[in-house]
Structure 1
Amino acid sequence: MTIQDFEDAFPQGTFDDIVRNPLPDSTTRVVNINYPSNYRSAIHYFRAIMNAKEYSERALKLTDYLLQLNAANYTVWQYRRDILVKLGMDKQIECDWIRKMSESNPKNYQIWYHRQWCLENEKEIENVIEELNHLADHAFNDDNKNYHAWSYRQWILKNFNVSSDQELNFVEKMIDLDVRNNSAWNHRFFILTRDESVNWENELAYVWKKINLAPNNEAPYVYLAGICDKFKSAENSEIIKNALKTALEMEATFPKTIPLLTFIVETSRQHNLMSKEELFKRIECLATEIDPIRSNYWEYVKMIYNGK
C-alpha cells in the first residue's frame, strides 16, 4: 500500500484551526524513536484533536491515515471507534474498510479486534455469512494457519447462529488442502464438540483415513487424543478402546512411527488399556530408537507409570 505524503492527504488549510500537540522530545532518551515526518505531522494533529474531543469526518480521516502508517497504535484505534459511535456511522462501510486493512496487515491484533467490533451487533445473518466467505476467500488463501483469522472465525461461531454443517464443509476443504494444518484440525474439534448429533465412530474413521495419507503427521493424532480425552468417562470408553484398537492395527503397517507410537503409549497409560510389559516396550522404542531427542521425557513417563 502506497501512503501519501501528509501534505497530499490533507490539503493546506485542513487543520488551520488546530494548535498542534507535539510528541514529547525523545532525543535525550536512551532509545530515540525516529518517526517518519508524515507520521510525526499526523500524530501531532491527532493528539490535539483527541485532547479537544473532536469527533468529526476530518478526525476520522486522520485516524485512517495514521493507522495505515502504524496499524499497532491502540489509542488511534480506540479513538476511531469513539468517532464512529458519535457520528452514527454505517458499520457496513467500516467493515469494508477494515477488510482492506486486514489484507495488508493480516497478523495485526488491533485490526482483528476492530473487525470483531464492527460485526458484534450485526442483526443480519447474511452479513455474517458474507464475512465468513470473505475470510475463506482472502485471509486463509494468503495464510491458512493465520491464528488471528481462525480465532476470529471461532468468535463468529460462538456469537452467531451459523450452520455447523456449512462450517464443517469449510474445514474439511482446509484439511484436504493441507492435512498438516493444526489450525484446521483445532477448528474441526471446536465445531464438533459443540454439536451433540455427531457420530463419533464415523469421525474416528475420518481421522484414520487422513492419518493414512501422512502417518508421520502429528496434527490428527493430537486431534484424536482430544476426542479420547473428551470421552474419558466410563460410559464412553468404547470410543477410546476402538481408537486404540485401530492404532494398534496401524502399528503393523507403520512401525516405529513417532506420533502413532506416542498416541498408543499416552492413550494406553492414561486409560489403563495395555499391560505394563507392552507399554514399556513401546516407551523403550521411543526413548532409544525413534525419538531419542525426548528420551528424558519418556524415562519420566516410565517413572510416573511405575509410581502408580
Structure 2
Amino acid sequence: MSPWISCTLDKDKPDMPFNIEDYKDIEPLPITTGLPDELCEIMYTDNYKQIMGIARALVQKKEYSARALQLTSEVIGMAPAFYTIWNYRYDIVKWQMETHSNVPELLNNELSWLDEITLNNPKNYQIWSYRQSILKIHPSPSFKLELPILQMMIDDDTKNYHVWSYRKWCLLLFQDFSNELSYTDTLIQRDVYNNSAWAHRMFVLKSTAPSGNDINDEINYVKEKIELVPQNISVWTYLRGLYEYFRKDVYDEEIIKFAETFTNNVFDLKTLENLPPVESSYAIEFLSFVYSKNEATQYKSITGYKALSEKYDPVRVGLWDHKIKRIQQGNRAI
C-alpha cells in the first residue's frame, strides 16, 4: 500500500480544531512496555496515552494527511522535544507542497504556527532545527519575517544560545549583515556585560570584510565600553579578538598605554608585596599576554601573572602558574 494516504480533510486547510473523533479508525499503539519489572513506570494520563498512541500508529502507517498534521500540533503541545514527531510533521508539510496552490503561503503559515510554539518553548532545540528545515525548502524565504520572533526571544532572554545560533544561521543564509552592528550596539547599551551580544558582534565582523578604518572605529568603540566598565571580561576578550583577527596579533603602543591606565603601574613594581588596588584585573591579563609575545617584555608578563595569582585573580592560580612556567620554558604568546 502506498504511504501517501489521503484523508477527507482538506489539506489546504490544516488548521482545524483538534477532534479525537477524526481518528476513531486508528488503533493506538502502546507507549509503554508493560513489563512487570520496569524500574520506574511513568504514570501517563489516559488522554496522553491515547494521543501518543494514535501518533505512533500514524507514523508507522506513514499517513500524510491534514488530520495527521493536526495531530502533530497536539503532540508537540504535549511533548515539544519529541523529535520523531517534528520529523513526521516535516514530511507531511513536504507532502502538502506537492499540490498546494500557494507554497510560499503554506510555509509562511507553518512558520507563523511555529512562532506560537517557540514563545512557549524558548530553549527547545527541535524548534530551531525545524525552522531551519522549513526555510531550506521555502521558495522565497524572508529574513524580514524572521526578525520579529528573534526580537521577541532575545528580549525575553538576551543570552539564549539557541536564538543566537539561529540568528547566525539566518545571516549566513540570507547574507544580510547590514543591521547587525547597530542591533548588537542596542543590546550592549542595555547591558555592557552581554557576552552573547559581543560574541555576535565579532561573528559579524569575521563574516564580512571590514576595512582598516572600520576596525579602527571598532577599537575606539570597545575602548569606550572599557572606560565605562573596566572590570568586564567580555570587552577585553573582544578587544583581543580584534587584534588577533584584524591586526595580525600585533598590538600597537597606543593600545598598550590605554590598557596600562587600568593597572595602577603594577607591571613596574619591584616587589609584589602590598599590591595596590586596580581598576581591572582583565587589563592585567590582557597586558600579560601582550608582553609575553616579546622576549624583551616577558619579565613584565611574569609580573602580571604573579600579581593575578597572588591577589587579583587567585581563583585561577593554576592557570597563571602554568602560563609563567610556559614563558620560563621559552614559549611565547600564551
TM-score by structure 2 length?
0.82
Q: Given the alignment, which residue of 258, 263, 282 partners 2:281?
A: 258
Instruction: Please state if 1:203 is matched with 2:218.
Output: yes
The count of corresponding residues between Structure 1 and Structure 2 is 293
Name the residue aligned to 2:91: 82
Contact 1:221–1:263 under 8 Å retained in 2: yes
Out of 112-121 and 273-282, give the one that drifted further.
273-282
Given the alignment, which residue of 301, 309, 312 partners 1:279?
301
SS of the residue corresponding to residue 179 of structure 2 reads helix
Query: What is the correspondence of 1:36-75 to structure 2 with a 5 Å cutoff?
Result: 36-75=45-84
CA distance in 2, matches of 1:42, 1:273: 70
Give the superposition deviation at 1:63: 0.6
CA RMSD of aligned residues (A): 2.1
AA aligned opposite 1:133: P
Once superposed, which parts of structure 1, at least 4 consecutive aligned residues long, lie more than 6 Å away?
Answer: none
Judge which range, 53-62 or 87-96, deviates more.
87-96
Q: Greater Rg, structure 1 or structure 2? A: 2
Instruction: Give distance in 2, aligned partners of 1:121 and 1:15.
Output: 29
Deviations 1:158-187 (A, max 9, x none): 11131x231111111111111101100000
Residue 274 of structure 1 and its aligned partner are, at CA, apart by 5.8
From the two aligned structures, give the one with the greater helix fraction.
Answer: 1
Code of the residue aligned with 2:115 in structure 1: it is R
Deviations 1:192-229 (A, max 9, x none): 11222342111111001011111111111111122222
Would you say the 8 A contact 2:263–2:281 is kept in 1?
no
1:94 to 110, 117, 120: 110
TM-score by length of 1: 0.88
CA contact (8 A) 1:26 1:32 kept: no
Structure 1: gaps spanning 5 or more residues: 1-8
Contact in 2 for aligned 1:244/1:268 (Cα 8 Å): no
Which letter maps to 1:182?
N
- Quote the offset at 1:294 in angstroms: 1.4
CA, structure 1 residues 17+216, in 2 after alignment: closer, same or farther (shift >3 Å)?
same
Q: Is the contact between residue 145 and residue 183 of structure 1 (CA under 8 Å) also seen in structure 2?
A: yes
State how far apart, in whole Å, the 2-side matches of 1:200 and 1:286 are: 30
Q: What's the secondary structure of 1:30's corresponding residue? A: coil
Equivalence for 2:329: 307
Counterpart Cα distance in 1 of 2:296 and 2:262? 16
Percent identity over paired residues? 31
The secondary structure found in structure 1 opposite 2:178 is helix
Between the aligned partners of 1:27 and 1:241, the Cα distance in structure 2 is: 74
Q: Is the 8 A contact 2:215 2:246 kept in 1?
A: no
CA contact (8 A) 2:122 2:153 kept: yes
Q: Do the aligned partners of 2:18 and 2:74 also contact (CA within 8 Å) in 1?
A: no
The answer on whether the counterparts of 1:265 and 1:283 sit within 8 Å (CA) in structure 2 is yes
1:161 aligns with 2:175: yes
Q: Which amino acid aligns with 2:23?
A: F
Structure 2 unaligned segments of length 5 or more: list them: 1-16, 101-105, 266-276
Residues in 1 aligned to 2:247 and 2:175: alpha-carbon distance in whole angstroms: 29
Give the counterpart of 1:289 among 271, 289, 311.
Answer: 311
Question: Does the 8 Å contact 2:233/2:282 carry over to 1?
Answer: yes
Contact preservation (8 Å) 2:18, 2:70: no
